[in-house]
Amino acid sequence: MNPSAPHSNSYSRHVVMLATGGTIAGSALAVNHPQPGVYKAAQLSVQQLLVQSGIERHLIFQQWRAQGYVLEAEQVAQVDSKDMTQAIWLALAHSVQHHLQRPEVAGVVITHGTDTLEETAVFLQQVLAPAKPVVLTAAMRPSDDLWADGPQNLLDALVVASSDLRGVLAVMNGCVYAGAEVRKWHPWVVDAFGAVPAGPMARVHQGQLSVYRACTDAGVLALGLALLPPPEQPWPWVEVLASYAACSARALQCLVDTGVQGVVLSATGNGTLHECLEQTVGEYLAQGRLHLNQVLVATRCAMGGVVGQPSHGFPTAGNLTPAQARVVLMLNLMQCGDS
């Protein structure tokens, strides 16, 4: 929000905030538990969240308004993001698309829980590949915490949603991450997010955006909303299976026997698998019980992606987390008509 650098399209001055719940809309008072740190996510409506955050009284927000920006707010869902559903994803994707098509809308902010933010980011990026900024933001502390981080994240997200950046982005703790790279890698610190392979692509400080590099998703085509099945139809059944010490292939066998449509293997190190999993997947592929497009290997390491091709030869998910790889595999299978 640099007053000397107004948005390139002076007509595009609305930013739409779509609320889905999460800790950013969470409350400790609502639980009234004697133990510190206990709270309930997704308690405040979007209007209550705006009032509680106090951002409208902040100088940066007032300067933003003085540039002609208007904030719209809409409640899309009210959920702890561990309970995210396909129905909410569908509603969110349609709502984002609807608002982005309005010429006066510069960008969209989505308030979300931190726990599955990385999955929603990949989902929206793949389906919409937006040409305007779509900014996910969240908080690690509930709205009524003395040191709540939500208000700053909200303000920073507004800055990014009013900028010339494109695509799905995530804003947390002053950092701007590309949607396909972001991941939550710590369960409770405020600085809980990172991005693989190269960290934040930009930062926000006191309303000023510093961009370090282009978004890696630039130029990737949108799969489109038409790909997504209607609400009553299930999405492809894709499970995540982990490889670990003293592993067995029994869970994999059960899944394939009961008709699983895709398997993400949460692999050790640079995409390696316990020999029992590697052997069983290889046998199923040879027997035609699984096809290569139903298997995706992602690393279970928190801070890196799979580089190169592991010797097993199964497809790999690069920098995606296993949970993100599952989203991608579901969308791939929808493209093949396997939903």
Rounded to whole angstroms, what are the CA distances from 283 to 264, 267, 276?
17, 18, 11
In angstroms, how far is CA 329 from the centroid of its own chain?
A: 15
Q: Is 156 in the site for ligand SIN (CB under 6 A)?
A: no
Cα–Cα distance measured from residue 323 to residue 236, given in angstroms and rounded to the nearest whole number? 15
Spell out, one character per residue from 39 to 58, where the chain touches ligand SIN: x when CB under 6 A holds, - when not.
Answer: --x-----------------
Is 107 among the residues that bind ligand SIN (CB under 6 A)? no
Q: How far is the CB of 23 from ligand SIN (least distance, A)?
A: 3
User: Taking CB under 6 A as the criterion, which residues in 216-255 touch ligand SIN?
Assistant: none
Within positions 160 to 189, which residues make up the interface with ligand SIN, using CB under 6 A? Answer: none
Q: Is the dihedral of CA 30, 36, 38, 40 positive or negative?
A: positive
H helix or E strand, kind and range, residue 92: helix 86-100
| Phi, psi for 220 (deg, rounded to 5) | -75, 130
Sole binder of ligand SIN in the list 1, 71, 129, 140 (CB under 6 A):
140
Pattern of binders to ligand SIN over 57-86, x per CB under 6 A? -----------------------xxx----
* Range 6-25, binding ligand SIN (CB under 6 A): 21-23
Q: Environment class of residue 185 by beta-carbon count within 10 Å: exposed (0-12), middle (13-18) or buried (19+)?
A: middle
Helix (H, G, I), strand (E, B) or coil at 133: strand
Judged by CB under 6 A, does residue 321 bind ligand SIN?
no
Which residues neighbour 264 within 8 Å (Cβ) at sequence distance 6 or greater? 238, 239, 240, 241, 296, 297, 298, 317, 322, 325, 326, 329
Of residues 37 and 197, the one with the C-beta less far from ligand SIN: 37
Could you tell me the smallest distance in angstroms from the CB atom of residue 113 to ligand SIN?
2
- Confirm or reject binding of residue 120 to ligand SIN (CB under 6 A): no
CB of 170 to ligand SIN, least distance (A): 12
Positions touching ligand SIN (CB under 6 A) are 21-23, 41, 80-82, 113-115, 138, 140
